[in-house]
Structure 1
Amino acid sequence: MTRRFEGKVVVITGGSDGIGLASAQRFAEEGAQLYITARRQEMLDQAIRQIGHGAIGVQGDVTNLADLTKLYERVGRDHGRVDVVFANAGMHQPVPLEALEESHFDATFDLNVKGLVFTVQKALPLMAAGSVIVLNGSIAGSKAYPAQSLYNASKAAVRSFARSWTIDLKDRGIRVNVVSPGATETRLMRSYFDAAPGAEEEIIKGIPLGRIGHLEDVANAVLFLASSESAFVAGHELFVDGGVAAV
């Protein structure tokens, strides 16, 4: 195990489950001083026990700007800086166009777009040259999956932010990139497969590499984008999808 993040201060939103938790474990193992957020205290406590390595949990909701302020005030008091932000918190709520209601729009865009924007903005006072921002997107931002137009659009916005913020932050020496997973073996996806016999097999048929992604596949990509190994990569979207978006 390398120690690429020895002494680095890393903040991950939505770090108590799935891709956020898998990435948090890797950052901690590689020496980071890690801060994660989650809305539910019990899941946050469980994740902190699982991660170990002195990781710190700050309960909060990224759609609540006061909670984000609380997060960065804590990090500022402890370290006075942030070296890496992984804006990971998000949601997936498939709803056909004909069934969309205002509540669906608000929930998806508040978390996937508004929450991500202010997660980044409120970190900036603590970020210096050489800091890195990684945004969690999705191949759904590039492909038209049915019955999830809100989700697709929210992830297309994430891709656009990486382009815009690369220009906005270039003079400060802060890099921004997007990791965009395809179908990945999360707890929520597994529950979907369990409830829909045959769905996993159908999805795999469309994946050139012939399998669902593992959490570690995405975490590896996140750490690459956050590390000095990607020092000349900026404004980029890294698909972690077994080849779906590329071919």
Structure 2
Amino acid sequence: MSRLQNKTALITGGTSGIGLETARQFIAEGARVAVTGTNPANIETARAELGDKVLFIQSNAGDIAGQKDVAETVKAAFGHLDILFVNAGIAEFGPVEQWSEEAFDRSVAINVKGPFFLVQALLPILANPASIVLNTSINAHIGMPNTSIYALTKGALLTLAKTLSGELIGRGIRVNAVSPGPITTPLYGKLGMSDADTKAMAAAKIPAGRFGHPSEVAKAVVFLASGESPYTVGSELVIDGGMSNL
């Protein structure tokens, strides 16, 4: 396949889960790829898998000043950017009464503020045409207990996809969003959920009866990033096995 032949792409949070799988598929489709990651160990693991042709950038998505450094690194390596997949994010859950201001600010910085200022920093090198895809969540649509701040940030990111799509289309930049439901990534293990827990959740809340695979999200991102979707602007692809329809 060569749907992204000769394209340059940046994937934030591209060293594990959905981001890593998207990097694999972008490379398979012919793109030159840069990925960001925070954890040095994850970066080295991804490097071993993806190879040295991928540009690896250590960066904290919540470090606002650091977003300019990411843009400068991409500019020096690629000259311009055709595709941006904003995937880096944090998922912290808890009852309303347990949230601190520090934790609130951390989620907003990583999930909303950082992505906004990364887009701003990349504008001078985004090509015409170019595609931006924001990774949001079905939690922007459903009232799931203990997800108030996570859902708030993902709702803000979804709104950003819609408003930026109207603002940037005149520059030839399409902005769209993917909103995954539960996907088999390391996230659920970090949250302390066992395989039995995830299977029970799938049986009770997901009509498809299972969690999604990272590849199923990555394929949607490839579509939005490619020339197959030139008339798709300000749209959201929900990839949740029907969960948000219940």
TM over 0.5: yes
Moved over 6 A (4+): none
Aligned pair count reads 246
What is the CA distance between 1:197 and its match in structure 2?
Answer: 4.3
In 2: Cα distance, 1:133 partner to 1:205 partner: 34
What is the CA distance between 1:132 and its match in structure 2?
Answer: 0.3
- After superposition, the Cα gap between the structure-2 partners of 1:28 and 1:199, relative to the gap in structure 1 and judged at 3 Å, is closer
In 2: Cα distance, 1:111 partner to 1:72 partner: 17
Alignment of structure 1 residues 212-223 onto 2, 5 Å: 212-223=211-222
Q: Is the 8 A contact 1:28 1:53 kept in 2?
A: no
Matched position secondary structure for 1:178: strand
What is the CA distance between 1:41 and its match in structure 2?
Answer: 2.0
Matched position secondary structure for 2:68: helix
Matched, 1:75 2:74: yes
- Unpaired runs of 5+ in structure 2? none
Alignment of structure 1 residues 142-181 onto 2, 5 Å: 142-181=141-180
Q: Tell me which residue corresponds to 1:101.
A: 100
Letter of the 2:209 partner, please give it: G
In 1: Cα distance, 2:193 partner to 2:90 partner: 19
Matched position secondary structure for 1:239: strand
- After superposition, the Cα gap between the structure-2 partners of 1:234 and 1:64, relative to the gap in structure 1 and judged at 3 Å, is same
Alignment of structure 1 residues 196-235 onto 2, 5 Å: 197-235=196-234
1:55-75 deviations in Å (ceiling 9; x for gaps): 110111122233222222122
In 2: Cα distance, 1:214 partner to 1:196 partner: 15
Q: Tell me which residue corresponds to 1:241.
A: 240
Q: CA RMSD in A?
A: 1.6
Matched position secondary structure for 2:243: coil
- Unpaired runs of 5+ in structure 1? none
Q: Is the 8 A contact 2:13 2:36 kept in 1?
A: yes
Q: Tell me which residue corresponds to 1:12.
A: 11
Q: Tell me which residue corresponds to 2:49.
A: 50
Q: Tell me which residue corresponds to 1:131.
A: 130
Matched position secondary structure for 1:131: strand
Q: Is the 8 A contact 1:204 1:212 kept in 2?
A: no
What is the CA distance between 1:151 and its match in structure 2?
Answer: 0.3
Instruction: Tell me which moved more, 175-184 or 22-31.
Output: 22-31
In 1: Cα distance, 2:104 partner to 2:169 partner: 32
Q: Tell me which residue corresponds to 1:92.
A: 91
- After superposition, the Cα gap between the structure-2 partners of 1:233 and 1:85, relative to the gap in structure 1 and judged at 3 Å, is same
Report the TM-score, using the length of structure 2 for normalisation. Answer: 0.95
- After superposition, the Cα gap between the structure-2 partners of 1:48 and 1:217, relative to the gap in structure 1 and judged at 3 Å, is same
Letter of the 2:70 partner, please give it: L
Letter of the 2:7 partner, please give it: K
In 1: Cα distance, 2:235 partner to 2:244 partner: 14
What is the CA distance between 1:174 and its match in structure 2?
Answer: 0.5
Percent identity, aligned pairs only?
37
Instruction: Tell me which moved more, 95-104 or 61-70.
Output: 61-70
